[in-house]
């Protein structure tokens, strides 16, 4: 991660850390880096945003910065992050920009860039933008007259994106009753529209954004109310998106929450049966449930692991030619159809499996047993060199031996905070609590008390 760019763009509290001034400079410098060498015609960049109150403010500043460098802007309005990735390619733009802080609370916002290929930027390209941000003076070109960038709206953005998603399956959803939780975010209009056009009976909740209610006790991070609604309405399933709709968490007809691991397991098995699972491989992160790994092993499907973050999943997928990957949090990537995690696309693919197999989501989810998982964060003075600490490593090894093949331990530092995260999985929750507490105590003693 760089000085400004994290694992998912530049984020911060809007108008405090992520200011309009910074948005202007990001637009200006990002457009310069991403369109340099384009001389045949005036380059263009597409820009989308979620429903946050600060979105319009940051959009105006960002677009002004892009136009000031002589690059045209196609303004998409409220649309999902994967919608921006798709439309960047679909409209043959030189880059795409999404203004969103995903599942974060509404005071936060973020700016993330996509290259002309629809993929997130490389660390090298982000570093080039950061280098310009750190310069004391701006010496980049300032075109005048008819060389300024033009700004236009694209009213067909949702229509084009929804048509693309509909084209990824060969079946309709007639006869299915689905409850959609739009998180008062980017999917509030697109998700119900997509599913209704595919023939589903759709009931909506949290699809009335007011600028401040995005992600508030709703969506993929808070599916509790959706579970109650599914049971009350006796629906076939519920679908919960996050603020920028790149995640999906589902709820089966019995009210059980179905996370990203379970969705990947269901889809991986189906794609293997239909001969569509390239290289017989699924890419996941180290945080995937042990039950996911056991299920894939039993099905004869190979898994590859990465560190936490959908960008790392994508990198591994591209390296190895995998078509399916994702995270437990609900970021699921179907690389054949889009270049980033896509909640709406994941919903359509999951519904395809249900429809073509004639199975309920509850029955499909039995493909894997979800092991209890316990996570504890230990605040430390310094998280460096914890792996070289003999006492910590000895305690981890001791717990791993006790769990054997029926569980596992994962200890890792936070990427952004002074924390060491201790996660354990196994069949007995009380036992896990004791094991995690033991490891956490040793970490605290070694990295805090002994300092």
Tokens of 442: 């040793």
Cα 150 to Cα 39, 60, 73, 139: the distances in Å are 16, 13, 6, 22
Four-point Cα dihedral 223, 227, 232, 233, nearest 10: 80
Number of H helices, E strands in the chain: 14, 18
Interatomic CA distance for residues 264 and 441, integer angstroms = 35
Contact 262, 371 (CB under 8 A): no
- Say if residue 298 is exposed, middle or buried (CB neighbours under 10 Å; 0-12, 13-18, 19+): exposed
Q: What is the DSSP string of 235-274?
A: -SEEEEE-TTS--EEEE-TTS-EE-HHHHHHHHHHHHHHT
Helix, strand, coil fractions of the chain, as percent rounded to 5: 40, 20, 40
Contact 419, 375 (CB under 8 A): no
Active-site annotation holder among 80, 102, 288, 329: 102
Residue that is written with structure tokens 């889809």 in the block: 267
Residue that is written with structure tokens 């990002």 in the block: 30
Strand partners for 425: 373, 408
> What DSSP element (H or E) covers 414?
none
Q: In the Cβ-directed half-sphere of 45, how many Cα atoms lie within 13 Å?
A: 34
> What DSSP element (H or E) covers 169?
none
Tokens of 303: 């898994």
Tokens of 355: 């429809």
Tokens of 69: 């460098």
Interatomic CA distance for residues 186 and 209, integer angstroms = 9
Q: What phi and psi, each to the nearest 5 degrees, are found at residue 258? A: -110, 110
- Sequence-separated (6 or more) residues with CB below 8 Å from residue 102: 8, 81, 110, 242, 243, 244, 246, 247
Q: What phi and psi, each to the nearest 5 degrees, are found at residue 47? A: -135, 125
| 102: annotated active-site residue | yes
- Catalytic residue IDs: 102
């Amino acid at each position: 991660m760089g000085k400004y760019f994290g694992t998912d763009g530049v984020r911060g509290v809007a108008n405090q850390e992520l200011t309009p001034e910074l948005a202007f400079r990001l637009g200006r410098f990002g457009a310069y880096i991403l369109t340099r060498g384009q001389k045949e015609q005036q380059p263009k960049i597409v820009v989308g945003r979620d429903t946050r109150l600060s979105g319009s403010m940051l959009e105006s500043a960002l677009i002004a910065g892009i136009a000031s460098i002589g690059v045209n802007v196609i303004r998409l309005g409220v649309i999902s992050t994967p919608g921006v990735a798709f439309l960047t390619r679909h409209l043959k733009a030189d880059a795409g920009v999404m203004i969103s802080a995903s599942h974060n609370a509404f005071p936060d916002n973020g700016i993330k860039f996509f290259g002309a290929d629809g993929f997130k930027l490389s660390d090298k390209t982000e570093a080039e933008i950061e280098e310009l941000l750190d310069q004391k003076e701006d010496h980049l070109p300032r075109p005048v007259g008819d060389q300024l960038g033009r700004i236009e709206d694209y009213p067909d953005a949702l229509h084009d994106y929804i048509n693309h998603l509909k084209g990824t399956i060969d079946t309709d959803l007639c006869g299915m009753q689905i409850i959609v939780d739009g998180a008062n975010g980017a999917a509030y209009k697109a998700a119900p529209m997509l599913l209704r056009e595919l023939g589903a009976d759709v009931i909506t909740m949290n699809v009335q954004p007011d600028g401040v209610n995005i992600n508030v006790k709703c969506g993929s991070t808070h599916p509790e109310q959706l579970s109650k609604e599914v049971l009350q309405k006796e629906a076939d399933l519920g679908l919960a998106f996050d603020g920028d709709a790149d995640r999906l968490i589902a709820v089966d007809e019995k009210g059980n929450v179905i996370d990203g691991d379970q969705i990947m397991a269901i889809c991986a098995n189906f794609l293997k049966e239909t001969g569509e699972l390239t290289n017989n491989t699924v890419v996941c992160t180290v945080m995937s449930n042990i039950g996911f790994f056991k299920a894939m092993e039993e099905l004869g499907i190979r898994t590859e692991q990465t560190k936490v973050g959908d960008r790392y999943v994508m990198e591994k997928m591209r390296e190895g030619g995998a078509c399916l990957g994702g995270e437990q949090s609900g970021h699921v990537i179907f690389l054949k159809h889009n270049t980033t995690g896509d909640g709406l696309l994941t919903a359509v693919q999951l519904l395809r499996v249900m429809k073509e197999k004639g199975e309920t989501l509850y029955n499909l989810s039995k493909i894997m047993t979800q092991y209890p998982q316990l996570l504890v964060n230990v605040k430390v003075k310094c998280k460096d060199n914890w792996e070289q600490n003999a006492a910590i490593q000895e305690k981890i090894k001791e717990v791993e031996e006790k769990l054997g093949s029926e569980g596992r331990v994962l200890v890792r530092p936070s990427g952004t905070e002074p924390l060491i995260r201790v996660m354990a999985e196994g069949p007995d929750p009380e036992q896990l609590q004791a094991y995690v507490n033991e490891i956490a105590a040793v970490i605290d003693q070694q990295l805090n008390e002994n300092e």
